Amino acid sequence: MTSHLRIQCSRKNLQEVRDFVRAFLLAGRRSEVLVNQIVLAVDEVVANFIIHGNGENAEQFLDLVLALTEQRLDVEIEDHGHTIFAPSVVAPDPDMREYIRQGRKGGMGMALVSRIMDQVEFFERNAHTVCHLSKALG
């Protein structure tokens, strides 16, 4: 089972992305806990593309492709902006006490994504940035 969604790079479209991923996974009869985790991971990557990769330029767009089998979920998010956006996916275990003490906000998203998904990789294809997420389903 596969599905595709194209959105403009605007935060206004994040709810549409969450709804799209949720509906797709629920149609595949996945548990609510798993669905919520994956929705969170995809939402974080898409938000990063929109905010950091495209500066919320609604003239740019992203393509999401979801592919689901009994054994695996694959997600590809392709950025059609003019810059290559590749955040670090090797997220160290943060010292949460220090993080809170410093009053930091943000910066934990990719650490969360890498904990939820089995594989997270960013690469360039046809001068576009692509993020591939995958999760083995048991």
Cβ count within 10 A of residue 49: 23
Please give the share of the chain, as a percent, with pLDDT higher than 70. 80
Q: In what order do the strands lie in the sheet with 61-68?
A: 2-8, 61-68, 72-79, 128-136, 119-125
The pLDDT value given to residue 94: 59
What's the pTM?
0.85
Give pLDDT, residue 89. 56
Which of the four pLDDT bands, split at 50, 70 and 90, describes residue 108?
A: low
pLDDT of 4 over the 90 cut = yes
* All domains in the chain, ordered by first residue: 2-136 (3.30.565.10)
pLDDT at 53: 85
Q: Which residue has the higher pLDDT, 120 or 84?
A: 120
pLDDT tens digits for range 46-103: 999 999 888 889 999 999 999 999 899 999 999 987 676 666 555 555 555 665 555 6
Q: Residue 85's pLDDT is what?
A: 66
Phi-psi region of 3 (alpha: psi -120 to 50; beta: other; left: phi over 0): beta
| Three-state SS letters, the chain | CEEEEEEECCHHHHHHHHHHHHHHHHHCCCCHHHHHHHHHHHHHHHHHHHHHHCCCCCCCEEEEEEEECCCEEEEEEEECCCCCCCCCCCCCCCCHHHHHHCCCCCCCHHHHHHHHCCEEEEEEECCEEEEEEEEECC
Contacts (Cβ under 8 Å, ≥6 apart) of 2: 65, 66, 67, 68
pLDDT score at 9 = 95
Tokens of 124: 């360039």
User: pLDDT confidence of 40, banded at 50, 70, 90?
Assistant: very high
Instruction: Return mean pLDDT, the chain.
Output: 86
